Amino acid sequence: MRVLLVDDDALIRDGLTILIGMEEDFEIVGTASNGQEAFERCGQLMPDLVLMDIRMPIMDGVLGTQLIKQHFNSIKVVILTTFKDDEYIKEALKCGAEGYILKNQSSDSIIESLRAVGKGNTVFEREVASTLSAMLKDEKRMPLATNLSTRELEIMKLVADGLSNKEIAEQIFLSEGTTRNYVTGLLEKLGLRDRTQLAIYYLQRS
């Protein structure tokens, strides 16, 4: 997996380059120090995944994520943060980030999270996910769409739990292709862009 590292701290960039670059299934193709630079580098390098900090000068990770997902939707974005700004995280997810993890995790945990995103999962780190869920519950409650079947609701919940299509298929005894069709149908029915937006949609209404 080709990875672009984005952080305004050179020491963190260098450390992540060493740690992630040691894994045989990862290649660090470049680095950037802010969201604008990350967007430009994506156009040049077309990485598979961007590991993005949130709080950076010139352009933060939220706007950087938004630009990348608008122009290069196939590139996956994972937020790496200290989680001091809850609203930043929520907005980054709404912009299409596939996951968010904490800087205080072990290097092994970070690498496994990136692998999970590469396989199609949406990564909700436990501490962050519980906080995000609480934040969404504090907002004005909105009802789920009434035209959803029991199976669609079941699949939506599993997407919100961070499961990939393959894992969902195994859990509810469907083929992976059928599961993928359900997810695609849900996105079209609800007017959503991707799995992250589908997960947030469910969390806001469950």
Mean pLDDT, residues 140-160 taken together: 84
Phi, psi dihedrals of residue 101, rounded to the nearest 5° = -130, 165
Predicted TM-score (pTM) of the model is: 0.75
Q: What is the pLDDT of residue 128?
A: 63
pLDDT, one tens digit per residue, over 66-118 is 999 999 989 999 999 886 667 777 788 788 888 888 888 888 889 988 998 98
Once rounded to an integer, what is the mean pLDDT over residues 136-158?
Answer: 79
Quick one: pLDDT at residue 2? 97
Enclosing H/E stretch for 203: helix 195-205
What pLDDT score was predicted for residue 201?
Answer: 84
The answer for residues whose C-beta is within 8 angstroms of residue 17's C-beta and 6 or more apart is 5, 28, 31
How many angstroms separate the CA atoms of 121 and 116, rounded?
5
pLDDT at 81: 84
Whether 190 shows a pLDDT value over 60: the answer reads: yes
Q: What are phi and psi of 124, to 5 degrees?
A: -115, 100
Contact 16, 64 (CB under 8 A): no
Query: What is the set of domains in the chain, with CATH numbers?
Result: 2-137 (3.40.50.2300), 140-205 (1.10.10.10)
Strand-pairing partners, residue 199, are none
